[in-house]
Amino acid sequence: MDTIAAWFDDVRRMNKRQLYYQVLNFGMIVSSALMIWKGLMVVTGSESPIVVVLSGSMEPAFQRGDLLFLTNYKEDPIRVGEIVVFKVKGREIPIVHRVIKLHEKDDGSIIFLTKGDNNSVDDRGLYAPGQLWLQKKDVVGRARGFLPYVGMVTIIMNDYPKFKYFVLASLGLFVLLHRE
């Protein structure tokens, strides 16, 4: 509690110019992160260029907490054996699974079926009611690389919301207290 009280004392002692400077610094950090994210979206062609593996369904290929780097170039054909990240109607969280079957229609469009490497059955039970196949429009991205376990921070913050608020508050205090 003493550190919080000391922080409020520091804020009270700041003149308006110093306070504006701190707020602008924080805004620059947030806007820089957003610009980097949007830039990655453009370069990779994916609405979500980075995702975290949230379950063990893709073990041994990927472990829970691995950070995946995705691309989603429209001209690249989807292939059997490729690991895709897809969204299903009615579910907000994307799913990371492998393409196991693929059918090309007469008009050139494709439909495909996915399955987690560690699952015993295909993903039809995960798809929207009445949906038996995925289409290219369902794909958020395709796995191109990964960093093991880096995404555990995200999983911990989702599993323990109080920890998330503690980390955010700590970062905010760090930015405000470490001024020049």
What pLDDT, in 10s, does the model give residues 117-133?
999 999 999 999 999 99
Structure tokens at 29: 């950090």
Q: Is the pLDDT confidence value at 18 over 90? A: no
Q: Is the pLDDT confidence value at 7 over 70? A: no
Residue 46 annotated among the catalytic residues of the structure = no
Q: Kindly name the residue from 97, 122, 159, 170 that is annotated as catalytic.
A: 97
Query: Both 55 and 144 in a single domain?
Result: yes
Query: Both 62 and 40 in a single domain?
Result: no
Q: Which domain holds residue 114?
A: 50-148
| Domain count within the chain | 3
Q: How many CA atoms lie within 13 A of 84 on its CB side?
A: 28
Q: What is the mean pLDDT of the chain?
A: 88
Query: Both 79 and 121 in a single domain?
Result: yes
Residue 123 annotated among the catalytic residues of the structure = yes
What is the predicted pLDDT for the residue at 1?
Answer: 57
CB atoms within 10 A of CB 58: 23
- The answer to whether the CB of 142 falls within 8 A of the CB of 83 is yes
Query: Both 69 and 138 in a single domain?
Result: yes
What is the predicted pLDDT for the residue at 2?
Answer: 65
Q: Kindly name the residue from 2, 46, 109, 123 that is annotated as catalytic.
A: 123
- More confident: 174 or 67: 67
Q: Give 108's pLDDT tier (boundaries 50, 70, 90).
A: confident
Query: Both 143 and 155 in a single domain?
Result: no
Structure tokens at 77: 């054909």
* CATH number of the domain within which 142 lies: 2.10.109.10
Q: Kindly name the residue from 31, 48, 55, 57 that is annotated as catalytic.
A: 57
Query: Both 170 and 130 in a single domain?
Result: no
DSSP 64-111: TTPEEEEE--TTSPP-TT-EEEE--TT--S-EEEEEEEEEE-TTS-EE
Question: Taking residues 12-26, what's their average pLDDT?
Answer: 80
Query: Both 55 and 36 in a single domain?
Result: no
Report the DSSP beta bridge partners of residue 51. Answer: 68
Query: Both 68 and 144 in a single domain?
Result: yes
pLDDT in tens, 81-90: 999 999 999 8
Query: Both 12 and 97 in a single domain?
Result: no
Query: Both 124 and 166 in a single domain?
Result: no
Query: Both 103 and 124 in a single domain?
Result: yes
Query: Both 21 and 1 in a single domain?
Result: yes
Residue 31 annotated among the catalytic residues of the structure = no
Q: Give 107's pLDDT tier (boundaries 50, 70, 90).
A: confident
- The answer to whether the CB of 72 falls within 8 A of the CB of 144 is no
How far apart, in whole angstroms, are the C-alpha atoms of residue 126 and residue 111? 16
The structure tokens 């930015």 sit at 175
